Amino acid sequence: MRWLVGLLVGAALLTACSERDPGLESSEPAAPRGSSEAPRSLASIFDDVGGYPGEPWRKDGLEQTIRELSMAQGPEHCEWQRALFLGGEALIAPRDMRGSLWTRDPDGVLTHFPQSKQGFLARADLPADAMTTGFTQGAVELWTAPSDATEFVYLVNADDRSDVERWVRGGGGCA
Q: What is the pTM of this model?
A: 0.75
Q: Where are the domains of the chain?
A: 2-22+40-169
pLDDT in tens, 38-96: 678 898 888 877 777 778 999 998 999 998 999 888 888 888 888 899 988 888 766 65
- Provide mean pLDDT across the span 12-35: 38
Rounded alpha-carbon distances, angstroms, from residue 114 to 19, 150, 155: 32, 18, 20
